[in-house]
Structure 1
Amino acid sequence: MLQMLIVDDEKEIREGLFAWPWKDLNIETVGCCSHGLEALQFLANNPVDIVLTDIRMPFMDGLELMEVLKRQYPFIHVIILSGYSDFEYARKALQLGAVDYILKPIVFEEMIQCMKKLTAHLEEEKQIEKRVNFLQHRAQQLSRVLRDKFLSELFHAPFPVSELEQCGAEGEVMLENAPHTAAVLRLDRFASQQPSLSKREMDLITFSLDNLLAIVWDKPGWRYHLVNKNTAETFLLSKDHPKQDCYESLIKKLLQYKGLFKSTFTIVSGPMVPGPERIHISLKAALKHLTNTEPNTIFLCPNDMDSWRNLAKDDIYSFDKGEDMEENGDSLTLAKAKQFIKNNYNRSITLREVADHVYISPSHLSALFKRNGITFLKYLTDIRIKHARELLGDLKYSIYEVGEKVGYSDPAYFSELFKKNVGMTPNEYRKHLRLSAY
């Protein structure tokens, strides 16, 4: 039975649609949401085949929801509910991939015909099987967990320079050896006391904040964020030193959802530090000034070298993690490690996992690769990019699907990494292949 989510800000319509005899059409309604952000939170934990959504809704409307669904859940089919005055919106929805739109007030017969057509199409293409396989593959992807773990360590303590590239790549975080800045974003309603919210309310706030920042702040190789799921306190990482207007623009976008967060926002930015391995020092300064910063303001710490050096005096900056190396069996061990990578490059894979497979320590395996003139990460990346180039020649795969098939869950990260290694984006490379064929 196909599973459907109903999204509409009008309670009467939600409840009315939920009560329809959908099971006669082999459809089960698994939930109702009042706006797009609530729908995304639901979809994060519940598999769905069909989303029936209104266009005009608070916080995140139907078109914005569709843009996210197209990127994160391309297998979900969307049907739009539209008033006569929203025809242009409905046209835009069709351009975004909506399978159909239904005018309000809803005519029962029209809805049934629309759903019959869709369910027949889904059964024809065995969409359910495709969705299950996709979700199983997504479940294997550890990149988001690894990303949050990496950023948390980066924000809170000195980070070994030698491990920056490897740990960042495992979490699909691309950092350059360049100056970086940390900032803290606070919901002012929580400034003077611990949040007195139910877990459900806090989950919605942090989930929404996390997703919004992924859209309006994050940029591969340039900006990243980390949300504390218990307090909603958020750390912002950026290359170089953002100016006042950059943070003003961010707050302006967040205030569009003030009815959801019920709060103004304060941002305190630390000083710029020479490299990402010292980002914790920048955050330490930001947190120190946050306690004395008035709500609904933006404060930038002085951006001079002494600002972070004074904070760095008490930090122990030593990362001697070397281990004694064994010489015997290196070639065989490395060969086994390379074969394991070749067999598993299409999913999230870490240095530790490969090292465990060949029964040596991660540092030992890393040294074996370097002894052979290449790093573990470069070897893994080269294999993935090689297969990506082959897959891009097959037009039945979207760019998103190619990235997934070679182990990258974030399309933007995959595109940036591909360009860094090939000299052109996946789209440009695909066009180049087509032109070369003529």
Structure 2
Amino acid sequence: MERKLEPERFKLCVIDDIKSVVEMVSRKPPWQEYGIEVAGTALDGEAGLQIIRETRPDIVLTDIRMPRMDGLQMTRAILEVLPDCKIIILSAYSEFSYAQEAIRLGALDFVKKPFSLEEIVNAVLKARELCREERQETARLAVMEARIRESLPILRQEYLTFLLHHQTTETDARSRWAYLDIPLDQHDFFVFVAEIDHFAEKLGGQPVQEVELLRFSLHNILEETISAWTRGIIIREATDRYVCIMNGSDPETAALITEACCTNVSRFSRHTISIGVGLGTAAIQGLGTAYRQALSALGYHFYTGGNGVFHYSNIENKPLSLHSYSAAAEQELLFALRSGNSAKSLQVLEQLFAELLDSGLWPEPRYVESVGYELSSRICRVLLEQFPYGQVEPLELRISALKNQMHPSLQDIRDLLSWLCREACALVTEARSLESTRIIRQAVEYIHSHLDTGLSLEQMAKQINLSQGYFSNLFKKVQGISFQQYVMHEKMEKAKAMLISGRQVQEIAQDLGYEHRRYFSEVFKKYTSMTPSEFKLHYIGKE
């Protein structure tokens, strides 16, 4: 069953120096039906004020002229104790100026004597409605205040996030800081940004509940670690990133706190974090600058791979220097790729990175990342000179995958380029192998159709349009034996078949390009360890 709401009740006090008036006003109207309770009555001002203090009524009916304390004095006294009390003055016409003064002091209304009960009831009900409206407004404000209190943690985080990205005046900042009751001193801050290492790779396929549990756990570890040293607030800036604003002015202490955060996350979870720390700032207005410094410092984990702290002070005064590599080294890399020399291309790639990074100072991470992607694109362009897009597309997809990865490291870039070099050289080598096979297949077909000729290496190379040396090496690489050995093998195998078919030795020698039967027989015996006649006798039983 639903619980019925209790009807609203309002308290009324009646004060007049005429007893019959008090009794009539307090007893005759059906006050209970109107939700009004007569809390007390009195015949003079002092007694009336005492009852009012004890019962704390919502509405007071009082005469303007009474012994010991008149209505004006009582009005002042009541409103000091109960500023929301509704006071209705009972006044004769000759006392109208007093009633006006009472209204000016804060009384709600007055009823002129002589009066009817209906006039009294109407005045009291009017006062009751005002009391009800004020109660409702008070309740509404109480609900709003409760909601604001519940929302304070979110409102604080939203305002602090605003301060990290926008400028504000000191006056406004201090005012909002106090209103939101932010639990930090309003001076001396450090800002650091913490990022979960390899978040996408480790948690990309995990259920939302698991990811949220991890984020909550790391949030608590950071909060507890900082609270052991100073005051701090953790803001969840992104799925894999936290921002911390903490009080402090000593850089060494800030370094110890952030190192402890890294250590504790690694110790109490299966994950690690990277932290970038900005310079200290004395004022609230400096939080945005400190935050941007922390982000810059965080970017340098591109070189370390994570699980550590990097301070903006390490790069703050870094002189501007040109980080690059020689055009000759790049051309050498591309030449190695065109020639399919994997070992050489990897060696030159290492040389490129040595030139890029060997200045004693790490260049801006985004610059190195862009150089890596530009070099990747050039590798693909070199391949497109020789291959259709379909064969190069898998390499471009690998590049796009890394570009879409959150916060790739220097090692990721180097691994990508090394893989591209190996794949590019494999494509070139495979294509060259296929071309070599095609050329040698063409040579073999020519050999088979010209076994009746001398078939010299010089003649064959000229036919294929290659140098003798290159053709000789290529033939042996593809066929596994030298050109001369292959020609001899094919002629002798054909001679065997012709002998078995009954052909004469003289005839076979001529068909295979031998001018003299004797020379053919010598070659045949050297190849088979039998003379043609012995071979024929051995296989078909007759010469």
TM-score by length of 1: 0.34
Structure showing greater relative contact order (alpha-carbon pairs closer than 8 Å, 6 or more residues apart): 1
Richer in helix (by share): 2
TM-score (norm 2): 0.28
User: For the pair shown, which has the larger CA radius of gyration, 1 or 2?
Assistant: 2
